[in-house]
Amino acid sequence: MKALEIEGLTKRFGGLTAARDISFSVEGGEILGLIGPNGSGKSTVMKSILGVERPTSGSVRIKGVEVAGWPPHKIARLGVGMVFQHSRPLHRQTVLENIALALTPDSLWRLLPDPATMAKARAIAERVGLSGVLDRKPATLPFADLRRIELAKAIARDPAVVLVDEPFAGLTARETGAFSELIAEMRHDGRAVLIVDHNVKSMASLADRVFAMYVGERIAEGPPQAVMNDETVRRVYLGGALTTASRPESAFKDAATPFLEVEGVDVFYDRAQALEKVSLHVHQGEFVAVVGLNGAGKTTLFNAISGLIPYRGVIRREGRSLAGVSPASIAAGGIVQAPEGRDLFTDMTVAENLDMGALRLKAGERTERLDWLFDLFPRLKERLRQTAGTLSGGEQQMLTIARALMTKPDLIILDEPTLGLAPIVMEQISKALERLRQTTDITVLLGEQNVTFALPHADRVYVLEHARIVWEGPPGRFAEEAGGRYI
């Protein structure tokens, strides 16, 4: 009997099908990796197993028992544990008390753990590497230890099936290795483990099998290496064939002092390290791509450059440190970001959104700039009086880029400009970037997970992985040297 069986699982939200006819199983003593880019349906499948979402159709069986549509607490009692990506400890209790409470039966008569329960909690804490911090409160612990608490709480329930959500997000390479070993121990215990992640590479040395999804459907299943080499999976992550047309670094005049320099930058969110010793440089007029999967740290890097978050290390513009310079001053000085979330004024028209980028322009400059932008993005001229919130996703992305360009920036940061866009819209944005490259001296820092989109526009490429730069070079060398390790 399989510990977990999913058969024909479909989940619709109105007219959107988030998961379609998904089927897989996990045996006790096996680890299955569920992967896919953002929006692929992984979370929907996981929530359907947990009972957070009720499947539209299909079956979810735990140890042979049909649980589709059951409430979460009943599914948990049947033997399903969850290791959450975002830690949820009881902050007034110590580490030991958090684990002990997870061991305590769901009964009003057993609110206080007995000595045997406390002894078992200590044993679990030692197993996951928390024996040295038993008496500390969660708020005083580093991020990796908070993840260990979640793992300990899951083990405490002695589940037959364990779901692990984004286990490596926010962990350093060393912490990732240690956490992988702890997950592997659950397999040795005979538990069925389902790891939900977007990164097949993180799974390669851990999972027995990988199930890959894209836009709600299965695209591949099998051993990790076979899935990594699957043509459809590579096309989903890399986008297709890699073509390049880069300019040599020697072609740029500011070789001695690049326009933008980032040296040894660290960024922490509470105890999670989002960037670790990141260094890069961008020459004036150069197009540089930072490629990496979601969660690698691209947005964090761009927000540090824009002065939006605190960081350790050095960021310089034309040799001058940006430390202590306000985000408004950095933007006014010519480093402008088109954010991943777009952040448009949705109740304002296209014209009004563009006006927000033109506040520092004179009337004549504004008219000239608008004419140039409408030539770059003709669709925006057609939608000029339409509110931004009623635009399509592609039109909103065009408006986001246009608003940033309206400021006449020296350097524009484009954060995931193709995220969620149809291929025809991606082609329109690609043509606009190529025109910028060919007809202006603007500097571009492009963050993308779609390598095939990024590389044709890039003079140089950095690969960001688990908060660190792991490769740098011209795009022509990417396929040979870094393409295989990217996913």
Sign of the C-alpha dihedral computed for residues 420, 422, 423 and 428 taken in this order: negative
Tell me the pLDDT tens digit for each residue of 87-128: 778 888 888 888 888 887 654 445 556 788 888 888 988 888
Write down the pLDDT at residue 150. 87
Q: Which of 253-257, 286-290, 325-329, 397-401 has the lowest mean pLDDT?
A: 253-257
> Per the confidence metrics, is the pTM higher than 0.85?
no
Query: What homologous superfamily does CATH list for 4-238?
Result: P-loop containing nucleotide triphosphate hydrolases (3.40.50.300)
Residue 357: phi and psi, rounded to 5, are -85, -10
Tokens 């040799």 sit on residue: 319
- Looking at per-residue pLDDT, the higher value among 5 and 113 belongs to 5
* Domain at 249-486, CATH from 3.40.50.300, 3.20.20.20, 3.30.565.10, 3.40.50.10420: 3.40.50.300
Q: d(Cα 271, Cα 370) in Å, to the nearest integer?
A: 45
Residue 324 burial (C-beta neighbours within 10 Å; 0-12, 13-18, 19+):
exposed
User: Stretch 451-469: mean pLDDT, rounded?
Assistant: 89
Q: How many CB atoms lie within 10 A of CB 357?
A: 21
CATH 3.40.50.300 residue ranges of the chain are 4-238, 249-486
pLDDT tens digit sequence for 62-76: 999 999 999 998 998
Alpha-carbon distance of 73 to 67, in angstroms, equals: 11
247 SS3 class: coil
Residue 466 exposure: Cα atoms within 13 Å on the Cβ side: 17
Is pLDDT of 421 > 80? no
Task: Map residue 273 onto helix, strand or coil.
Answer: strand
What's the token pair of residue 22? 């998904």
